[in-house]
Amino acid sequence: MKRLFCYLTLLVAGGLNAAEFDYGLKARQIAPDVHVFVGRTEDFTPANGGNIVNTGFIVAPGGTIVIDSGSSRRYGEQMRQAIAGVSPKSVALVINTHHHPDHFLGNQAFADTPIAALAATRQGIGADGNAFAENLYGLTGDWMKGTEVFAPTQTLAAGTQEVSGRRLRLIALNGHTEADLVIYDETSGVLFAGDLVFNERAPTTPHANVEQWLAALDQLEAITRETGFKMLVPGHGEVARDAAPIRQTRAWLEWLQRTLRESAAAGLDMNEVLARPLPPEFAKLPVAASEYRRSVGHLFPAAEQEALK
């Protein structure tokens, strides 16, 4: 009897989990043959399972091109299923825009297809991938079950090229991380900006170089001024038809850098910098307080060093 009860409990729990671990991914078409999955503008939690990131795909003549694979094996699998619901074409290539975990931990679901990234992104995944995955297990829990680092198998070169029969401009930038790949689909005018751009969500900075990031944003804004430009897909936050998210990301970064430099020059201790209030325009952004706190930890030591020279 006791055993039966155990089985029943397991069955119920199993049934619940199957529903619980559904990311509810629904492909949204934003241009002919171009689709995105827009994540929540939140932090990683057991409730969202890591679905806080934007991923996408382009149905190209030679097969589908997937841009980023999400935060877990389950995400990648569910994403692949959703893609199959849109087009019967097989996946020709997966691209990881940079080495942060929410952009590549779904790679396992695409193990049978080529997975490509910039050289430094491949190195970054090799060096930090396991630590990132471990951290996400801690932050999101069982959503991560079965997730292991599956590193990209190919190195991407920047430049305009035919990928799977589609003309893509691959732009190698940096600033958010050491290597940030931006994909401009010249056919549709859709710009996949990766995490160089956040929209109505405070930017994350664990591997940021703010100077380089600001320079990268200038390059991205120039693309939005091209006649063919139609749509911007940020790494986090809603898609946009203009450069507003680029300007918002720039405004946050410039304010952040100015605040840290001024604080260091004024002789503030790190706890005093953490206690500074955020200006209203930034305080209203989702996760602003926690990202500011993190950014102080990541970036204040360098500002401090500069001020102590």
Partner 1 sequence: MKFLLTVTAFVLATLQLPAAAAALPEAIDPLDSARWTDMHKMVLGGAPVVFDDRVIVKAPATAENPMQVPVTVDATALPGVQEVLVFADFNPILQILRFFPESAPAFLGFRVKLQQSSPVRAAAKTADGVWHVGGTLVNTVGGGCTAPSANAGSKEWQQRLNEVAGRQWSEGPQQGRVRMRIVHPMDTGLVAGTPAFFLEEINFTDAAGKRLMRVQTYEPVSENPVFTLTRGNSTGPLDASGRDNNGNAFNVRIAP
Are 196 and 95 in contact, with CB atoms under 8 Å apart? no
Are 244 and 231 in contact, with CB atoms under 8 Å apart? no
Residue choice 266, 279, 283, 284 for contact with partner 1 (CB under 8 A): 266
Q: Which stretch binds partner 1 (CB under 8 A): 113-121, 161-169, 190-198, 267-275?
A: 267-275
Residue choice 20, 22, 242, 272 for contact with partner 1 (CB under 8 A): 272
* Cα–Cα dist 269/277, whole Å: 15
247 binds partner 1 (CB under 8 A): no
Measured from the Cβ of residue 272, the count of other Cβ atoms closer than 10 Å reads 11
Residue 271 CB, shortest distance to partner 1, in Å, is 4
302 binds partner 1 (CB under 8 A): no
Bridge partners for 180 per DSSP:
173
Number of residues that bind partner 1 (CB under 8 A): 21
Nearest to 269 by CA among 234, 239, 307: 307
* Cα–Cα dist 287/200, whole Å: 10
Q: Which stretch binds partner 1 (CB under 8 A): 29-37, 64-72, 154-162, 291-299?
A: 291-299
Half-sphere exposure of 1 (CA within 13 A, CB side): 0
277 binds partner 1 (CB under 8 A): no
Residue 86 CB, shortest distance to partner 1, in Å, is 38
* Cα–Cα dist 187/138, whole Å: 41
Are 70 and 82 in contact, with CB atoms under 8 Å apart? no
Closer to partner 1 by CB, 195 or 304: give it: 304
Nearest to 83 by CA among 15, 166, 27, 127: 27
Residues 138-177 that bind partner 1 (CB under 8 A): 138
Residue 138 CB, shortest distance to partner 1, in Å, is 7
126 binds partner 1 (CB under 8 A): no
Q: Which stretch binds partner 1 (CB under 8 A): 91-99, 217-225, 250-258, 269-277?
A: 269-277
Which residues are near partner 1 by CB under 8 A? 135, 138, 266-272, 274, 290, 293-294, 297-298, 301, 304-305, 307-309
